[in-house]
Chain A
Amino acid sequence: EIVLTQSPVTLSLSPGERATLSCRASQSVSSYLAWYQQKPGQAPRLLIYGASNRATGIPARFSGSGSGTDFTLTISSLEPEDFAVYYCQQRSNWPLITFGPGTKVDIK
């Protein structure tokens, strides 16, 4: 099983600040990595797929980078609606997809 580790666990920032979230894989997943946003009581929403491609309708302030074992999700300037939990997910050894434990971005 490919284990994903996310850091930090919690990120406390103010609106307008830049958020940088990290996801590390226990072995190379090439570029087969996605990022999701989840708000309380809602389903996850796909933000980034293939490590760096924005999903349909996702604002340009969200960007993804990385390959192999180290990945980053960047939110260039936090909007009030961006405070949520973010998960990374790998599909390198599909169908055994796995998710990271999540990073909570909360308001400072």
Chain B
Amino acid sequence: QVQLVDSGGGLVKPGGSLRLSCAASGFTFSDYYMTWIRQAPGKGLEWVSYISNGGDSIYYADSVKGRFTISRDNAKNLVYLQMNSLRAEDTAVYYCARENWYPDIWGRGTLVTVSS
């Protein structure tokens, strides 16, 4: 079935780095843009980044620009989010999602906690 499995979250100190992964299955991965969306504890949803189906167009929210890098490997059906210079305000559950005019398929999310 159509599925996204995100992973890679954990506890990291301020200024540290983490790489999230999202494994796709059940659909033709290379046909779709992919996105990362986050949700701080008890808060609403915030868009983080988009990557085009071929990986040549990339967009970031201002809050993460210059610190986060999105990438994908279409041969492995994977999308990544490299997060550097992490701050306390980056603490959130990070969801990868398939973009089909709207984020229509979501992973279960992976929790990133930035704390000393």
Query: A42 to nearest B CB, angstroms?
Result: 8
Report the separation of the CA atoms of residues A91 and B46 in the bound assembly, to the nearest whole angstrom. 13
Chain A residues with CB under 8 Å of B101's CB are: 49-50, 91
If A95-B50, A95-B59 touch, whether A46 touches B104 (CB-CB below 8 Å) is: yes
Report the separation of the CA atoms of residues A43 and B38 in the bound assembly, to the nearest whole angstrom. 10
Question: Which residues from chain A sit less than 8 Å from chain B, CB to CB?
Answer: 34, 36, 42-46, 49-50, 55, 87, 89, 91, 95-102
In-complex Cβ contact of B44 among A43, A55, A87, A96 (8 A) = A87
**Which residues of chain B in 94-114 are interfacial with respect to chain A, using CB atoms and an 8 Å cutoff?**
95, 101-104, 106-109
Report the separation of the CA atoms of residues A101 and B47 in the bound assembly, to the nearest whole angstrom. 13
Question: In the complex, how many residue pairs between chain A and chain B have their CB atoms under 8 Å apart?
Answer: 42
If A87-B45, A89-B45 touch, whether A43 touches B104 (CB-CB below 8 Å) is: no
Question: Which residues from chain B sit less than 8 Å from chain A, CB to CB?
Answer: 44-47, 50, 59, 61, 95, 101-104, 106-109
Query: A81 to nearest B CB, angstroms?
Result: 18
- Asked if residues B102 and A89 are in contact (CB atoms below 8 Å), the reply is yes
Chain A residues with CB under 8 Å of B109's CB are: 43
In-complex Cβ contact of B95 among A43, A55, A98, A100 (8 A) = A43
